[in-house]
Amino acid sequence: MREPTGATIPLSKLAPEQALKRLELAVVRRMEGYLHGDHRGLLPGSGSETNDARLYVPGQDDVRKMDWAVTARTQTPHVRDTIADRELEVWALLDATPSMNWGTEGVTKRDLGIAAIATIGFLSQKMGDRFGAFIMRPEALVRIPARSGRMALYALLRKMLTEPVVPDHASGPYSLTQGIDQLARTQRRRGLRVVVSDFLSPDDTELDPSTPPEWERPLRRLAVKNQVICVEVVDRREVEFPDVGDILIRDPESDFARYINTSDAAARERFNAASSAQRERIRVALRRAGVAHIQLRTDRDWVEDIARFVLSYRRVASQLHQPPQGVSR
């Protein structure tokens, strides 16, 4: 296996147009009631984002919305409306660290993550929602401004695909923890946040689900004001150890390297058990953080997996939107 030097999937195949059209008809309507704005948020009301102040109209405006600070300065009654989040702002964080360059099924985990962002991005374009992204490299966090429209989304995906591949053992101040923190601090407007990663941290060998990963706390803070979807990307050979004889196992983000005899059934069993425990710890941590979790694998159809996820989440949203017993809408 060698390090990838470029994208392993073309832009035209990130999210096939015909599949997207079917998803827009069959899936996007089911996302309404789960997302904010025209996709109807989880809390009723006219909105909580403050708008500009305007002149008070007697008999039409609610006096409880009076902006007394502006009224005192202008000596004219003013009210301040609230914005009923009619435009969803979606921000995606793509983990582009060296561990994401792995892939044995013709596509790397990094490009599978971009495909997930493409699919979710196209699904959020129905009502002209804005889509922006961060590409997290070890040495920098690349920001792509949020814009609306299909062409803007294609430009964002092209930028992600053409971003240089991070070489193995690259170092820098950014990890998944810092990336999530930066996303929460810089993007204050509430909306949908998509975190795409394998959720593997260098030198983190803990397998006990009760021990939280370092990225769990910032993810929990991000989920306080936003709808958060975490896309966990996995390669088949990370969870199913193959029988291919003696191979060198090495960590692209640390100095760990060891030869393993994969023909040894006991060694494969221990590896598969450790991998299952690792994935279970990630699943439990994401659940504790209160975020939605979808796992994508390089050997499966990501569009089908995302469609299945959205359809299943529809049931959760419908239950959350049900008014209390005895109360009508």
Write the DSSP assignment of 89-109 as a string of letters. Answer: EEEEEEE-SGGGG--SSSS-H
236-249 average pLDDT score: 84
Tell me how far apart the alpha carbons of residues 176 and 158 are, in angstroms, rounded to a whole number.
Answer: 23
117-136 average pLDDT score: 82
212-238 average pLDDT score: 91
Q: Is 35 a member of any domain?
A: no
Q: Which of 101, 119, 122 is nearest to 110 (CA)?
A: 101
Q: Are residues 55 and 137 in the same domain?
A: no
In angstroms, the Cα distances linking 48 to 51, 84, 140 are 9, 7, 33
pLDDT at 322 over 70: no
Q: Are residues 135 and 211 in the same domain?
A: yes
Band (192; pLDDT cuts 50, 70, 90): confident
pLDDT at position 3:
66
CATH code of residue 171:
3.40.50.410
The whole-chain average pLDDT of the chain stands at 79
The domain of 60 spans 49-83
C-beta of residue 192 within 8 angstroms of C-beta of residue 36: yes
Q: Is 20 a member of any domain?
A: no
287: Cα separation from own chain's centroid = 14
DSSP assigned state of 4: -
> What does the block give as tokens for 157?
């995906």
Q: Are residues 79 and 91 in the same domain?
A: no
Least confident range from 50-54, 120-124, 289-293: namely 50-54
Q: Are residues 65 and 101 in the same domain?
A: no
Q: Are residues 164 and 124 in the same domain?
A: yes
Least confident range from 69-73, 89-93, 169-173: namely 169-173
Band (35; pLDDT cuts 50, 70, 90): very low
Q: Which of 283, 100, 288, 280 is nearest to 207 (CA)?
A: 280
Q: Are residues 72 and 218 in the same domain?
A: no
Share of the chain above pLDDT 70, in %: 78
Structural domain count, the chain = 2
Phi then psi dihedrals of residue 271, to 5 deg? -65, -45
Q: Are residues 153 and 271 in the same domain?
A: yes
Q: Is 220 a member of any domain?
A: yes
Tell me how far apart the alpha carbons of residues 18 and 34 are, in angstroms, rounded to a whole number.
Answer: 24
Q: Is 235 a member of any domain?
A: yes
pLDDT at 40 over 50: no
Could you report the per-residue pLDDT of 84-95, keeping only the tens digit for each?
445 678 899 999
Q: Are residues 120 and 244 in the same domain?
A: yes
77-85 average pLDDT score: 69
> What does the block give as tokens for 112?
């599978």
Tell me how far apart the alpha carbons of residues 68 and 71 are, in angstroms, rounded to a whole number.
Answer: 5
Could you report the per-residue pLDDT of 135-165, keeping only the tens digit for each?
999 998 999 988 888 888 889 989 998 888 8
Is 32 strand, coil or helix? coil
C-beta of residue 199 within 8 angstroms of C-beta of residue 231: no
pLDDT at 321 over 80: no
